[in-house]
Amino acid sequence: MRFEATIEDCIVSGELPDGLEGGFYRNGPTWRRPNKQGLESVYTIDGMVQGLVFRDGKVEFRNRWVRTPKFVAEERAGRSLFSYADGEFDDWRAWGLGDAIRDEHNAGIPQGTANINAMPFNGEVLALSEQGCPPIALDPITLETKGIVPWSSQLSDGLFEKVCFGDGAFGPHPKWDDVKEELWSCTYRDRKPFISVHCVTLDGVVRTKHLDDGPYCAIAHDMWITENYAIVAFAPFLQDRARIAQGRGIYGWDTSLPTVIAVIRRDDIDGPVQWIEADFEPEYIMHTLSANEIDGKIVLDGPIFDSPPFMTDEVFPPGGPFVPFWQVGTTCIGRCVLDLEKGRATSEHLGDTPVELPKIDERFWGKPYEWGFYTAGERVKDGMRMNTVMRRNVHTGKEDSYTIKHDRPVGVYESVFVPRTPDAPEGDGYLITPVSYFNERHTDFMVFNADDLPSGPVAKVVLPFAVGWTPHGHWMDFR
Ligand SMILES: [Fe+2]
């Protein structure tokens, strides 16, 4: 999808729910131009945000590249300006997560592409990077880039050292608590402190907890918050630029290392961290669902991978092609329970169905919650085929679902939950799921009643092209 489109009045089949007013924003890597080494890694391709806006009884679609410092500099030059320390491997090890090779054309320009997530904050849409670029604010209607957030200079380094004023990293999966009006996120690096946790408030103040006692360079792609705690796991999925210098891919999986969990009191970010070493074998939660505090314990929910869904040279020999994550690993619904009093962490698998891209009614981040939503599927060889949307009650385990039946390949992307009204009970509302039909070159945004997935979508917003792959997105309510 290498074009910027505007559709002011999308085709809708079925009946859209009354009163739906808001935007569903998604972000993903979309080629603007090949980089100097011709890499196809997610991390080197520029971010493009897609916005599906419901207002005044119509649905509008726009997609726009995020004007990161890298994008702007390359537009001005009319060519790619970046190459990477791991870009010469010529196989799956070329993630584009090595240091940018610096010259006079890219000096002082962060190498991040802001292509992993898009979520609302303080009336704007933030385009979020995995590493190497601060959040970029976009207009929620036009998707025009407004600029780097004004609080970026308070952020810590990500994987890369800062290259200019205002550079910094924030992580791709922040959690917004609308009662305390706090935005929590974490970022990670391959040097001490390996992980830092940030809390941003609407006045643009950033408070930071550096996890100085963190044991190793774990990839903290996501985190949990409850009413009282922020929780970050050190699982032995590693990211270390020293590996590149050794001729290895940047990612590692070291099962000799223990899983260690950091528990931070939200009302005392400067206070001591409670460290809990887990009682279970190494596993990996890439994306969190959410967490409850129950009877003095913290219950952390999320899909559990037995091993990371990324290629590492502990498993794959050099020289092979890149294999995407859904063919490398598979998951099941999982749960980790922290007993703060005893300092114990346990883990359990709650089902066999592969699930990923977990979502909740995000008004309930930082609060007790009951309903989880997943993209689900079936096991295929070493990976999984995702073709289903699922709802699950986290207390009772009751599940219901809807499977997209199509005899040619479809991409079921991450859903978003939309409350029926701004003050509806938790889980009362709609699920919107993008489904891309690759061969037919079109896309349906399916709208489900969240409490009746098996009946199928009540409406579809139909786009006459295949939207690009977008890992993550969120809903901004205009009501
Ligand atoms: Fe993610």
- State yes or no: 442 annotated in a binding site: no
pLDDT of 22 strictly over 80 = yes
Res 327: pLDDT: 83
The tens digit of pLDDT for each residue in 118-154 reads: 999 999 999 999 977 899 999 999 999 999 999 999 9
pLDDT score of 407: 83
Q: How far is the CA of 29 from the centre of ligand 1 (A)?
A: 13
Please state, in angstroms and rounded to a whole number, the distance separating the CA atoms of residues 142 and 181: 26
How many A from CA of 265 to the centre of ligand 1? 24
Distance 89 CA to ligand 1 centre (A): 25
Has residue 149 been placed in a domain?
yes
408 within domain boundaries: yes
What integer best gives the mean pLDDT of the chain? Answer: 95
pLDDT of the residue at 432: 98
Buried b (16+ CB within 10 A) or exposed e, 175-186: bbbeeeebbbbb
Query: What residues does 391 pair with on adjacent strands?
Result: 373, 400
Span from the CA of 77 to the centroid of ligand 1 (angstroms) = 31
**Model pLDDT, residue 320:** 87
Q: Which of 297-306, 364-373, 375-384 has the lowest mean pLDDT?
A: 375-384
Q: Is residue 21 part of a domain?
A: yes
Band of pLDDT at residue 411, cut at 50, 70 and 90: confident
Instruction: Give the pLDDT mean for 240-262.
Output: 96
- Give the pLDDT of residue 324: 82
- 117 Cα–ligand 1 center, Å: 7
Domain count, the chain: 1
Q: Establish if 118 belongs to a structural domain.
A: yes
Assigned domain for 384 exists: yes
pLDDT for res 406: 84
> What integer pLDDT is reported at residue 439 of this predicted model?
87
Where residue 385 falls among pLDDT bands split at 50, 70, 90?
Answer: confident
If you measure from the C-alpha of residue 19 to the centroid of ligand 1, how many angstroms do you get, rounded to a whole number? Answer: 30
Give the span between the Cα atoms of 189 and 145, in whole angstroms: 27
Give the mean pLDDT of 186-214. 97
pTM of this prediction?
Answer: 0.96
- 105 marked ligand binding residue: no
Band of pLDDT at residue 322, cut at 50, 70 and 90: confident
The alpha carbon of 129 and the centre of ligand 1 are apart by a number of angstroms equal to: 10
CATH label of the domain that carries residue 54: 2.120.10.30
Residues 46-57: tens digit of each pLDDT: 999 999 999 999
Residues 6+ away with beta carbon under 8 Å from 396: none
Q: Which domain range does residue 361 map to?
A: 6-477
Could you tell me if residue 99 is inside a domain? yes
Q: Tell me how far the alpha carbon of residue 7 lies from the centroid of ligand 1, in angstroms.
A: 28
Q: Is 221 annotated as a binding residue?
A: yes
CA of 35 to the centre of ligand 1 (A): 23
Give the Å distance between the CA of 172 and the centre of ligand 1: 6
1 within domain boundaries: no
Q: How far, in Å, from the CA of 107 to the mean position of ligand 1? A: 29
Q: How far is the CA of 304 from the centre of ligand 1 (A)?
A: 14
Query: Could you tell me the distance, in angstroms and rounded to a whole number, from the CA of residue 34 to the centre of ligand 1?
Result: 23
State in Å: Cα 288 to ligand 1 middle. Answer: 9
Of the CA atoms within 13 Å of residue 283, those in its CB half-sphere come to 23
Query: What per-residue confidence (pLDDT) applies to 373?
Result: 98
321, pLDDT greater than 90 = no
Range 286-314 average pLDDT: 95
Ligand 1 center from residue 71 Cα (angstroms): 22
**pLDDT surpasses 80 at 299:** yes
Distance 159 CA to ligand 1 centre (A): 16
Q: What is the pLDDT of residue 479?
A: 96
CA of 169 to the centre of ligand 1 (A): 15
Please report whether residue 193 resides in a domain. Answer: yes
Q: How far away, in angstroms, is 187 Cα from ligand 1 center?
A: 13
Query: Cα of 25 to ligand 1 centre, how many Å?
Result: 15
If one compares 344 and 408, the residue with the highest pLDDT of the two is 344
